[in-house]
Homo-oligomer: A and B are copies of this chain.
């Protein structure tokens, strides 16, 4: 591939499926605190959307004994791109074959990353049609802003904890056309983090080293606000609603975005993104490399100013042996 002139097989992040042992409380978190809409329940799963998601949903929450990642769905750049990706991956150790597709989507081809995370590639996705009384006069907005919680606008990215960053980063680059936007290199040149994207966003997916060496775990999913005040609003509400803040609000060095990390009641880490950080329009971008063996670089890359990330950020992922989230106090 030479520059955006050729384009990417993958166009965007479509939705993510997470597991939770506490479906009711997890649902409370996403609908009442983050203002998402519950669309419907199918078996052990509920489908949720943010008010600026254009497709039917961006989050599928499935009940399981332990929290973690179900799968990540990517929309390809075209029908042809989907078929081509499937053709290339079929018969490799990564290809898992076609599925009929989930709610609101057409045929999907499933793959497994070297680390084991399940990715889904899909072209056909239903656009959300807001019911009467919930439409917006703002023609680019799929539904009006809800008056519930501090409503997130759209899904932003997913961060995968991997045994080794290298092969997984390479998988996204070689097979799905992602570009390496930022990278963290630790002692002995070992890769500890990779931020990859197929758009000017710094990342739609990140691969992060699992300090516990387990791999195939979820570090976090992220939803986007676009206005910094809203992560401070969520932060203000969390202590009073029994939601544990891991760290933030703050500003990342990687991505430059305002962030906050919390744990939804099921135990999964959720990041809230306050702005877009910086955008990469350069078709010939040189990866930004942080040498985190260097103390200052480690701090700056994680939190550009004011503080450092807690140990849990490097060791906790889902599933995990410890529970991250406290019992949630009665919410009204």
Contact = CB atoms under 8 A, between A and B. Distances in A.
Interface in A212-240: 226-230, 232-233, 235-240
A137 B300 contact: yes
Interface string A17-39: 00000000000000011000000
Interface stretch (A40-48, A271-279, A315-323): A271-279
Interface in A228-275: 228-230, 232-233, 235-241, 245, 247-251, 253-256, 258, 260, 275
A253 B306 contact: no
B78 A5 contact: yes
A145 B283 contact: no
A78 B3 CA distance: 6
Interface string A289-324: 110000011001100111100000000000000000
A5 B12 contact: no
A191 interface: no
A13 B81 CA distance: 27
Interface string A135-178: 01111110011011110010000000000000000000000000
A75 B289 contact: no
Contacts of A81: 3, 5
A237 B145 contact: yes
B11 A281 contact: yes
A56 interface: no
Contacts of A236: 145, 251, 304-305
B76 A332 contact: no
A195 to B, nearest CB: 10
A142 to B, nearest CB: 10
B240 A137 contact: yes
Contacts of A141: 256, 278
A42 B253 CA distance: 36
Nearest to A133: B330
A288 B54 CA distance: 13
Contacts of A120: none
Contacts of A54: 282
A97 interface: no
Q: Which of A137, A278, A300 has the most CB of B within 10 A?
A: A137
A87 interface: no
18 contacts: A3-B81, A4-B78, A5-B81, A75-B283, A78-B283, A133-B330, A140-B254, A144-B237, A145-B236, A147-B150, A147-B241, A199-B281, A227-B232, A228-B228, A232-B258, A235-B251, A239-B300, A239-B304
Interface of A: 2-9, 11-13, 32-33, 52, 54, 75-78, 80-81, 132-134, 136-141, 144-145, 147-150, 153, 182, 199-202, 226-230, 232-233, 235-241, 245, 247-251, 253-256, 258, 260, 275-276, 278-279, 281-283, 288-290, 296-297, 300-301, 304-307, 329-332
